[in-house]
Amino acid sequence: MHQLIEQHRADIALLCRRYGVRQLEVFGSAARAADFDPASSDADFLVDFQPGGDLAPLEQFFGLADALSRLLGRPVDLVERGAVRNPFILASLNRAREVVYAA
């Protein structure tokens, strides 16, 4: 995990609780860290929301994406766990992912 994510882990946990996240994982270059460019790389996250939260689903998703982007100071790609169905993309995602938050 890149240090940018690691150093904000406590704040990320607060956001996850606010937006009803069950589990948040970082994947791609932000998880591998070796090829993450702090000047230009985005941060990719895989999210699983808790059912029956206080927020509307779109508010959860876009609110969390925006809050993470503001916190990290870079674009964030947020993907819901069940949205990835292509086995090749899923295999690639599984090679480099790490849990950032789990409720």
Q: Compute how many other C-beta atoms are within 10 angstroms of the C-beta atom of residue 73.
A: 10
Total number of residues shown for the chain:
103
Proportion of the chain above pLDDT 90, given as a percent: 66
Domain at 3-102: CATH code: 3.30.460.10
Q: Which amino acid is at 16?
A: C
Per residue in 20-44, pLDDT (tens digit) is: 999 999 998 888 888 888 888 899 9
Report how far residue 8's alpha carbon sits from residue 29's, in angstroms, rounded to the nearest whole number.
Answer: 17
Q: What is the pTM of this model?
A: 0.91
pLDDT at 36: 86
pLDDT at 93: 86
pLDDT at 52: 86
